[in-house]
Amino acid sequence: DQQVKQNSPSLSVQEGRISILNCDYTNSMFDYFLWYKKYPAEGPTFLISISSIKDKNEDGRFTVFLNKSAKHLSLHIVPSQPGDSAVYFCAAISQIQGAQKLVFGQGTRLTINP
């Protein structure tokens, strides 16, 4: 039961252009979402987050949009830079027993071409 889905395994974008990564979720109880970036041989690092009370959050070159009615969020990176090449994971916070856990999508490998 994949509650968070990233349907594009890979994305290739030219340097300087906009990268758009998409994520869909099925559980309407999710109320907080995060994007992580992962380089090889490193753990995921937090990039940006959004609460369900907002529809947009911006941090420098990174903007996350949330469409609750469509259960869809997207990460926009503009302008894209070579160092942005990594695997990007979308995640939602879910309550489980006494803990909070992250429910991750499958990831999208972003490649920025010079």
Partner 1 sequence: ETGVTQSPTHLIKTRGQQVTLRCSSQSGHNTVSWYQQALGQGPQFIFQYYREEENGRGNFPPRFSGLQFPNYSSELNVNALELDDSALYLCASSAGQRQETQYFGPGTRLLVL
Quick one: 78 or 102, whose CB is closer to partner 1? 102
Q: How far apart are CA 52 and CA 66, in angstroms?
A: 7
User: Residues 10, 26, 27, 100: which binds partner 1 (CB under 8 A)?
Assistant: 100
Do residues 110 and 85 make contact, with C-beta atoms less than 8 angstroms apart? yes
Quick one: 6 or 63, whose CB is closer to partner 1? 6
Quick one: 11 or 93, whose CB is closer to partner 1? 93
User: Residues 28, 60, 99, 114: which binds partner 1 (CB under 8 A)?
Assistant: 99
Q: Which residues contact 110 (CB under 8 A, 6 or more apart)?
A: 10, 11, 12, 13, 19, 21, 77, 80, 84, 85, 86, 87, 88
Residues 15-74 that bind partner 1 (CB under 8 A): 32, 34, 36, 41-46, 49
Do residues 6 and 106 make contact, with C-beta atoms less than 8 angstroms apart? yes
As measured in angstroms, the least distance from the Cβ of 91 to partner 1 is: 8
Q: Is 79 helix (H, G, I), strand (E, B) or coil?
A: coil
User: Residues 75, 85, 105, 110: which binds partner 1 (CB under 8 A)?
Assistant: 105
Residue located via tokens 């894209």: 80
Contact residues: partner 1, CB under 8 A: 4, 6, 9, 32, 34, 36, 41-46, 49, 89, 91, 93, 96-107
